[in-house]
Chains A and B, each alone.
Chain A
């Protein structure tokens, strides 16, 4: 199945599916794999073009009051909390 890597857009995965949590809930130092990206079409596209696609491994660098800072594909990205809450990751470590 082509979308086993994850999905962008569409409805969010039902609660309790896998161990998916929003990016905003991953503590600093935590790592995971992006499984779902939600939000407006333009926003999804922007995030994906910055290199964060379903299936991308991410490490959270900072996650406090401001934007969530993650490291993925060799670059560090800052993502506003509103958008980050619509990114679901499968925690791996």
Chain B
């Protein structure tokens, strides 16, 4: 782990993100999907791009769990990805980057 070099980017206030849903954050020319998984009391961040058809869409995906493991389903073709590891949960080859998230003073920060 190389966490010591993590840069924390201040994304938006907590209220900007729907509970048990996601929203997209712009960081320079990158797009990061941020999810407030309220049921688990956790925050997750991933690439906004779904690697299946390269669509900037995952922030509009649906949250859920598979045997207790948190996941997001892409709106286009229901490809599901682990929010913990970024791996595709249907056993397909592509995966997404996941980023650390912290919440401080009512704001959401993403480690980029």
Q: Do A and B bind each other?
A: no
- Please list the residues of chain B having a beta carbon within 8 angstroms of any beta carbon in chain A: none
